[in-house]
Structure 1
Amino acid sequence: MFDLSILGIEYGTLLMFAMLLGMLLTGMPLAFVTLFVALFFALGWFGPMSVPLITSRVYSFVSSFVFVSVPMFVLMAAILDRSGIARDLFDAMRLVGGRLRGGVAVQTIFVAVILAAMSGIVGGEIVLLGLLALPQMLRLGYDKNLAIGVVCAGGALGTMVPPSIVLIIYGLTANVSIGDLFTSAFIPGLMLASFYVAYVLIRAYLNPALAPIAEETQKTTAEKLRLLKGLILPIMVVVFVLGSIYGGIASVTEASAVGVAGVILSTAIRGELSIKLLRDATLQTLSTCGMIVWIGIGASALVGVFNLMGGIDFVSALITGISDNPVIVLLFMMAILFVLGMFLDWVGIALLTMPIFVPIITELGYDPVWFGVLFCMNMQVSFLSPPFGPAAFYLKSVAPPDISLGDIFKALLPFIGLQILGVAMLIIFPALAGG
């Protein structure tokens, strides 16, 4: 076989990048592209004896105990999708909106935060809110762009608000405490949600036609109590999951199991638990986690081979050589993540870039936990940004036929601006995330 090592690390890196880009443009899944390129370079650069090194690296990724929490949180989200918990939660939050102008949009963001704190899965949240909140806002005469933006941006908060799967994968990749990541991400997550609320209220009061006040009859005390019952079970699940983590009672993995038990118990109390619900939720969990695991296997193999080639040191030297100013280097990394976010899944981005970026961040004197929160805030943008922002496609799957993908991406632009503001705030005020 042709000896690729004669290319040197400079041209080897260029060839690897070109192969990745070329194969991704053919439509091949990222997991298979990264695994094929990893095997190609392992055999071509080192020979057949290097293959066991790849398998050992892959094993270290998939055998992590904390990784068990990923399917647990995905299962929580899958059960929530199929139960009426989210619907009752949305109805209960009407008491928050009340006669407030833009109240239904604000109510949607509050529900999004609670759903994010229950499961941390983005896709399910956007679909749920697209089914519950979007039709109601459109029926009340809300501006279409404002309604679409609130649903997509609110649903994407699962990236930031603990227990976020993005934070878990980052913690595994960067080898930092996931509990610390959850603690540090809490305030930035709420900060971003407050940006959305402020934007909605300001737009609504500057132009009342954008968000008409819902005409509602006066509710009796009994009706209010009935609505409030919809808050009890979701709040209890959030308290048990996050309370056990922050209180030091349980690890993230143990808390995820508590969360699954809490959601199953909640559906049982509501009389919705069935074999069919559990079977469908389990199949969805297997499908989602299978994708994450395969991307993890491919990316771990590729990064392992690239490291053996000396590529990580080469790229690190390139990045740090841009400027002596650590802030410039940090902004350059953010720009790379922003561009990658337009084309790649966040799992692939985390697993491919963090083994290179985190050592640089540590060397520059930054806190890797703070950088993890910054990474998640950046990935918020990737969920919304064209041309492949997954939030838009999730919403399109349940939106009315007259709403096109172009309409959705256009509606998301102000919210992308708010997310970039969130990134800037974290860089300027690192104490927001404990940095």
Structure 2
Amino acid sequence: MSAILTWLLVLMTATLCLGIWIGPALLAVGVGLLEMFTNRPTHKLIGAWAFNVLTSSDIVSLPLFILMGELLFRTRLSQSLFSGIAPWMSFLPGRLFHTTVIGCSMFAAISGSSAATTQVVGRITLTELLNRGYDRGLAVGSLAGGGTLGFLIPPSIPMIIYAVLAEESLLRLFTAGFLPGIALAGCFMAYMGLRATLNPKLLPSDDHGNWTWSDRFRSLIELGPVAFLILSVLGTMYAGIASPSEASAIGVLGALAVAAFQRTLSWKGLRDALLGSVQTTCMIGMIVLGAFVVGTVLANLRVPQFVSAEITSWNLSPFVLIMFLMFFYILLGTVLEGFSMIVLTLPIVLPVVLAAGFDKVWFGVFLILTIEMAQITPPVAFNLFVIQNITGDSQTYVAWKVIPFFLIMMGFTALMTIFPSFVTWPADFILSR
């Protein structure tokens, strides 16, 4: 077993240090281990595995959700979100600060991407906040934190990858991620409201909003396209009308309808959206295939069982084990992006977590939360890069301002570990009806 682990580490390090893309690197590692430690026909197995994993019902939804996000990126949804949310925020401490988190939550429910959520919502809300005189640091931090919700609130692209690799129901994962996503957004808003209450200087003194009730109700019209898409995608899934793959197709049609209604999608924009979705899907597909090959080979060589037995011999309590994994993923997130973290660690970590008694769906939500933290953990922090492009601030400045939101996410993850039913109960309740 030591020889297998040594070669696994050597092959993985060598391929990554050579700058090979993560998908082909994983595939090369899997093929190398297969050739060295088994006598199975590699060419036949790879073909069969590729067909099985890339034609699964869950992964069929991946290119459609990506296409939906590409289409929505080219609409005026960001302006509609701000115009529809802002008039209602004058009641809350923190006022328009909350437009960022609420906007991110709503766009996350129709995009599935953290970076896209940050980019689309931030280019309008952050500009508006800064122009109106709101505190720059809190505005930047709220966008960085709120943008991570794109991975947790369904439909989530990382959840699709986890569902395929862990062989878990995608609908159960989507259902389990919704309530924690909304609760985490509520924690962000509570923090901003508290900060604004304790330090009123964070708010501009002349921006109380002169909206009448008539203005507020008229503003709801601006949220119509977003509400339409949320009902089209999430509503059809939770009502049992459509499967995740069918809902993704409905989402694409809905995105096209919104783009046509807003008159924002040209033939060039449609071509760019299709080309972008094909490129992203091919990249993720290669990563998923490579991870599946590595995971299957390691399972056949009984590496996960060996690692699980070794960690079990440490006699760690389940809570200590999960906290150890959380800090491990936070550290890993400083050098790897989220997709790589999932595919590199899942074949070994998942059996250990299941042996400790944790639910597979619960661990999926936990893993997505740790990936969200990686999105705002320098130096490899995609959300921070997006915000840098919007504001022109240095990464050091943005990273410093996001620390409170990072700590909120850590505390939320710990509470989720203490009360796991908070994640699993909604899925069991809704899907059992």
Q: Normalising by structure 1, report the TM-score.
A: 0.91
In the TM superposition, what whole-angstrom CA distance separates every residue of 1:191-239 from its partner, at most 9, and x where no partner exists? 1101110111111111112232552663466654543211111111101
Say yes or no: does 1:274 pair with 2:272: no
**Equivalent residue runs for 1:279-318 within 5 Å:** 279-318=271-310
- Residue 399 of structure 2 corresponds to 409
> Deviation of residue 26 (structure 1)?
4.4
Counterpart-to-counterpart distance in 2, 1:224 and 1:213: 21
Q: Deviations over 1:157-191 (max 9, x none)?
A: 01111111122221111112111112221111111
Identity %: 31
Instruction: Quote how far apart the aligned CAs of 1:80 are.
Output: 1.2
Q: Work out the number of aligned pairs and report it.
A: 425
* 1:355 equivalent in structure 2: 347
* Secondary structure of residue in 2 paired with 1:384: coil
| Alpha-carbon contact 1:156-1:383 (below 8 Å) kept | yes
Q: 1:175 aligns with which of 167, 172, 182?
A: 167
Q: Which residue in the other structure is 1:68 paired with?
A: 60
Within 2, Cα distance between the matches of 1:237 and 1:210? 34
Using structure 2 for the length normalisation, give the TM-score: 0.91
Equivalent of 2:73 in 70, 81, 92: 81
Q: Partners of 2:398 and 2:18 in 1: how far apart?
A: 26
CA, structure 1 residues 327+266, in 2 after alignment: closer, same or farther (shift >3 Å)?
same
CA contact 1:76–1:259 (8 Å) conserved in 2: yes
1:20 aligned partner: 12
Going from structure 1 to structure 2, the CA distance change for 1:145 and 1:220 (only over 3 Å counts) comes to closer
Q: Shift in Å at residue 351 of structure 1?
A: 2.6
**Letter of the aligned partner of 2:411 in structure 1?**
L
Match of 2:177 among 175, 185, 207: 185
Alignment of 1:427 with 2:417, yes or no, is yes
Q: Is the 8 A contact 1:81 1:124 kept in 2?
A: yes
Per-residue deviation, 1:82: 0.6
Runs of 5+ consecutive residues of structure 2 not aligned to the other structure: 426-433
Q: CA RMSD in A?
A: 2.1
* Distance change in 2, residues 1:302/1:292 (3 Å): same
Paired position in structure 2 for 1:332: 324
The separation in 2 between residues aligned to 1:320 and 1:58, in whole angstroms, is 33
Question: How far, CA to CA, are the matches of 1:221 and 1:200 in structure 2?
Answer: 25
1:301 Cα deviation from its structure 2 partner: 2.1
Q: Which stretch of structure 1 is more off in the superposition, 209-218 or 371-380? A: 209-218
- Whether the 8 Å CA contact 2:165–2:288 is kept in 1: the answer is no
Give the conservation status (yes or no) of the 8 Å contact 1:73–1:121.
no
The equivalent position to 1:114 in structure 2, one of 101, 106, 120, is 106
Q: 2:303 touches 2:348 (CA, 8 Å); kept in 1?
A: no
Question: What SS class does the counterpart of residue 241 from structure 2 fall into?
Answer: coil
User: 1:364 is matched with which residue: 356, 360, 370?
Assistant: 356
Call closer, same or farther: CA 1:364–1:262 in 2, change over 3 Å: same
Q: How does 1:251-270 map to 2 (within 5 A)?
A: 251-270=243-262
